[in-house]
Structure 1
Amino acid sequence: MFGGSSGVGLAVAQRASLLGGTVTIASRNRQRLAAAAAQCDGLETASVDVRDADAVAKFFTGRDPFDHVVVSAAELSTSTLRDRPLSEARAAVESKLWGAIHVAHSARIRDTGSLTLVSGMLGVRPSGAATMLSVINAGLDTLAKALATEMAPIRVNCASPGRLDTPWWDHLSDSQRHDLFSKTAAALPVKRVGTADEVAAQIIHLMLNGFLSGSVVQIDGGGSAA
């Protein structure tokens, strides 16, 4: 589990552990890894920066093939393109898109196993307020579909969440967070934002359903249809 130290990634790790899986979470943030290990019994942790292709390759070297690999790692912010330094755009691509590519390139997965990527609603509903994130998420959706044919019989899918109540929004004040979630909820058929555990449930399904491959599954409270 790359990016399993918080949010959706940690929720997937917890669910997989409860199902009896032996779970390894990888993150570049050692403090978050320690905190995650304290919340889930039996976790193996590894300090790996997905932006570093050599580090990712080294992680898989000498290990037995995994049954399932999930990539939710991302260090980025929501922003416009033209009003921010290009260095921020490149950093976002390096983290979320190239990170997934690095894992896909080096991952050792059993033929009966799966690779699951995590994109987001902006891949199908792009926004100028988050141009690079829109581009990255669309790229991940396409990457999963292409890899499903390249890596077959290993199954490859992508989970595309809508707006979630996760630590990703901790940079906002309580009032800003409340206002954002309220506005989002009002526009959704389900009338609320999602949770990390709800997305994790879908990712576990993508891991375990042997007839799912090349799929991009929207978990967005009906946002893509509204």
Structure 2
Amino acid sequence: MTGFDGLAGQHVLVVGGSSGIGQAVAAMAARHGASVTIAGRDAARLAAAVATVGGEGAALDMLDEAAVEAFFASREPFDHVIVTAAQLRSGPIRDLPLADAKATFDSKFWGSYLIARHAKIVEGGSLTLTSGAGGRRPRAGRAAVAAATVAVEALTRVLASEFAPVRVNCVSPGLVDTPLLRSVRPASSPPPPQPVARVASPEEIAFQILACAVNPFMTGAIVDVDGGLALT
């Protein structure tokens, strides 16, 4: 097997595949011959992603356990399940409403937990989660996000032990050019102070996510794809 050839004919589920990194994962998997299911909450974005990427769209709120359980119960096991979805809110602890902090943790951690709890994955298949550089390099005003991403990384290691021979890995991106980032970081912003002095493209993160999925000797790994941010 070379590159992503192993994806040909396999069924890949991308939870959060209607935009940003998730859509880049879905598109890359489809280009390499995978059958792709894109799951998301927003019907309009989901339809647009399917029109662009192809494959199947599935409306799914990953915080609704009954819906998640029913979704997987109605389907054959997937070869690879990838979770990129999250709704994050940031702010200083004394300013960010507690409801927003809890919603951030729920979205990032409990959403991944519920997908893992109910996902049906073939033996030797994979589950790949996403965390974020904020957990390794926490900044003021990012407490909820940092805590949630660290929790996802701990969850990854537990699941890798519990789910074997299904492999479980986690990719930790740095700054990525997504609609969410653009909403808080103007295009005119100076380059980030890191060795690779720019923001990543979604495709660069998607490449690593799929590399985790197809590598049969990789499990329990947390992979930084952050342009060297962890070195600063």
- Whether TM-score is above 0.5 comes out as yes
Partner of 2:9: none
Give yes or no for contact 1:57–1:106 (8 Å, CA) kept in 2: yes
Q: Deviations over 1:65-100 (max 9, x none)?
A: 100000111112222222111000111111111000
- Identify which of 36, 41, 44 aligns with 1:23: 36
Residue 128 of structure 1 deviates from its aligned partner by 2.3
Q: Which amino acid aligns with 1:177?
A: P
- Matches of 1:122 and 1:165, distance apart in 2: 16
Structure 1 position 183, deviation (Å): 4.3
Match of 1:4 among 17, 37, 40: 17
Amino acid at match of 2:225: I
Letter in 1 for 2:121: I
- Moved segments of 4+, more than 6 Å: none
Please, which of 127, 130, 136 is the counterpart of residue 115 of structure 1?
127
Instruction: Give 3-state SS (helix, strand or coil) of 1:129's partner.
Output: coil
Partner of 2:148: 136
After superposing the two structures, state which structure 1 stretch, 92-101 or 213-222, moved more: 92-101
Amino acid of the structure 2 residue aligned with 1:3: G
SS in 1 for 2:18: coil
- Counterpart of 1:192, as a letter, is R
Q: CA RMSD in A?
A: 1.1
Q: Deviations over 1:120-179 (max 9, x none)?
A: 00111112221100000111111111110011110000000000111112434xxx5124
Other structure's SS at 1:165 match = coil
Report if aligned partners of 2:16, 2:40 keep a CA contact under 8 Å in 1: yes
- What does 1:205-216 align with in structure 2 at a 5 Å threshold? 205-216=211-222
Q: SS state of the match for residue 82, structure 2?
A: strand
What is the deviation of 1:204?
0.7
The alignment status of 1:74 with 2:86, answered yes or no, reads yes
- Which residue identity is paired with 1:132? A
Q: Distance in 1 between matches of 2:19 and 2:172?
A: 17
Partner of 2:53: 40
Distance 1:88 1:29 in 2: 19
Q: What is the count of residue pairs matched by the alignment?
A: 219
Taking the aligned partners of 2:191 and 2:211, their CA distance within structure 1 comes to 30
Greater CA drift, 210-219 or 162-171: 162-171
TM-score by length of 1: 0.94
Aligned partner of 2:187 among 152, 172, 178: 178
Shift of 1:51: 1.0
Residue identity opposite 2:187 in structure 1? H
Q: Which amino acid in structure 2 is aligned with residue 191 of structure 1?
A: A
User: SS of 1:156's equivalent?
Assistant: strand
Q: Which ranges of structure 1 fall in alignment gaps of 5 or more residues?
A: none
